[in-house]
Amino acid sequence: MPVPRPIDWTPTRAVRILDQTLLPDTERYLDLDTVDAVAEAIRTLRVRGAPLIGIAAAMGLTLVSREGPATLEAVCAASRTLGATRPTAVNLRWALERMERRAADAAAAGDDLVPALRAEATAIWDEDRAMCERIGRFGAELIGGDALVLTHCNAGALATGGIGTALAPVYALHDAGRRVAVVADETRPLLQGSRLTAWELSRAGVPVTVIADGMAASRLRLGDVTCVIVGADRIAANGDVANKIGTYGVALAARAHGVPFYVAAPSSTVDPATPDGARIPIEERAAWEVAGWRGHQAAPAEAQVWNPAFDVTPAALVTAIITDRGVFAPRDVAGAG
């Protein structure tokens, strides 16, 4: 199945990313050879999606040797730089802490840190691919057959190291020969649904229909949607879920129309240290993302803008959480972390 590969090593061991800000118009790959370049790519959403930014940050830490001696202190300083880019997604901090521990072990043993860091970053990437496959299998078993799935934002191959989280069950069903199709919210303000989800599904041969965000409730009311599946950037210990802004509204509409609302995420997205959704830090982004689009001003300059990148869906609205360790009721998901 031809899903995109949004990240890779270059032959010289720099980090190669697919610039997702240019899709679907232009498929351009960038080679990043400094920690700051990787940090900029994460901050500006050239690389995005909770699992993928964790992978990118891990790979970015290996670039410390290009800027000076690869000491433990340099690794920790680079980790702070990368960790400051996106506050909501827990996978970023999880991956960086894992890389710091590997660097500390290598330093204590007197080993060269760079090969150790490269091996750990590659392991994180490999493990993410395997986690996506397991999420796909568990999700396909949960759905059970032919399906029309509504999704919000992009939680597919472009957001992970493998076939995705929310889209993994879709790809698994498609590969099994089932009739599966997707309704994709466009996902304002940056259109990750129309630009990214529809692009990768089309490449994979999965039928996709794009709708404006405000149409989701009306589509669910029609009664033809089997289930909603979304990804997550952080899942609190009580099962509250932080995901792309607009997810909460979709969950409310799904509950109103009796449509199952599933969250799909790797176990590393579960944060047992965050007790509930009120404790999840919500990133606020620049006003221009809402006030305009690619240089075109769509709102008057005098208008104020509120632009949270994420919202929190209470656990009570979540039917089940699909992880690489199985399917959990929201109240039990802390056991998956």
Q: How far apart are CA 244 and CA 184, in angstroms?
A: 13
Q: Which residue has the tokens 């998901």?
A: 333
Nearest to 313 by CA among 257, 233, 259: 233
The span from the first CA to the last CA of the chain, in angstroms, equals 30
Beta bridge partners of 29: 18
CB 332 within 8 A of CB 307: no
Task: Provide the 8-state DSSP code for 300.
Answer: -
Residue 81 has pLDDT above 90, yes or no: yes
CB 91 within 8 A of CB 53: yes
Residue 1 has pLDDT above 70, yes or no: no
Q: How far apart are CA 325 and CA 279, in angstroms?
A: 25
**Helix%, strand%, coil% for the chain, nearest 5:** 45, 20, 35
The contacts of residue 253 (CB under 8 Å, 6+ apart) are: 216, 217, 220, 259
Maximum pairwise Cα distance, the chain: 64
What is the three-class DSSP state of 271? strand
Nearest to 136 by CA among 262, 49, 5, 248: 262
**324 carries an active-site annotation:** no
What is the percent of the chain where pLDDT is above 70?
Answer: 99
Confidence of residue 89 (pLDDT cuts 50, 70, 90): confident
CA 167 to chain centre: 11
Whole-number mean pLDDT of the chain?
96
Three-state SS for 253-268 is: HHHHCCCCEEEECCHH
Helix pair angle (35-43, 50-61), 10° resolution: 170
Read off the pLDDT of residues 281-335 as tens digits, 9 standing for 90 and up: 999 999 999 998 887 888 998 999 999 999 999 999 999 999 999 999 999 998 8
For the chain, domain boundaries: 7-129, 135-336
Please give the CATH topology (third level) of the domain spanning 135-336.
Answer: Rossmann fold (3.40.50)
User: 257: exposed, middle or buried (C-beta count within 10 Å: 0-12, 13-18, 19+)?
Assistant: middle
In the set 128, 185, 213, 233, the catalytic residue is: 233
**What mean pLDDT comes out for the span 218-223?**
98
Read off the pLDDT of residues 136-180 as tens digits, 9 standing for 90 and up: 999 999 999 999 999 999 999 999 999 999 999 999 999 999 999
Q: Which CATH superfamily does the domain covering 7-129 fall into? A: translation initiation factor eif-2b, domain 1 (1.20.120.420)
Read off the pLDDT of residues 183-217 as tens digits, 9 standing for 90 and up: 999 999 999 999 999 999 999 999 999 999 999 99
Nearest to 311 by CA among 196, 230, 194: 230
